[in-house]
Structure 1
């Protein structure tokens, strides 16, 4: 297992990290490991634009559209 040291970390960043770790019920060290694993994993599996859009807006829910029924007959396409 590797070990790293982070120097010159802003006090506000440390405080927010401590709060985030507490919300997730883990130590600051475990929270930093989880953050690093998550961020690095994103680079491993490239996602297409549709997957990214879905992840971004999925929590907002879907949209129900009133689509009117089709009327009339289909037209034949003239390629001549």
Structure 2
């Protein structure tokens, strides 16, 4: 599994992360993995929500077949 190195982290941020890890009965490493996994999952959920919104907004509209448009463009 790949490793990540975070440079120049403020000491106060590290202190907060250590406190959070201890409160969750985890090592700092495990806490950081949890935070990063949750952030990545949230990003994926947000992307799906945006896609669903676009689909709803475009629903019911007629859509041109892009293959036809490409053929017309090539024939010019």
**After the TM superposition, which residues 1-80 of structure 1 pair with which residues of structure 2 at under 5 Å, given as runs?**
1-46=1-46, 47=49
Structure 1 segments unaligned to the other structure (5+ residues) = 49-80
Runs of 4+ in 1 over 2 A off after TM superposition: none
List per-residue Cα deviations over 1:4-55 (Å, max 9, x = no partner): 111100000000000000000001111000000001100112348xxxxxxx
TM-score, normalization by structure 1: 0.56
Unaligned runs of 5+ in 2: 51-76
RMSD between aligned residues: 1.3
Q: Distance in 2 between matches of 1:29 and 1:13?
A: 14
Cα distance in 2, alignment partners of residues 43 and 10 from structure 1? 25
1:2, distance to aligned residue in structure 2 (A): 0.7
Normalising by structure 2, what TM-score? 0.59
Aligned residue pair count: 48
In terms of fraction of residues, the more helix-rich structure is 2
Distance in structure 2 (CA, Å) of the matches to 1:4 and 1:45: 23
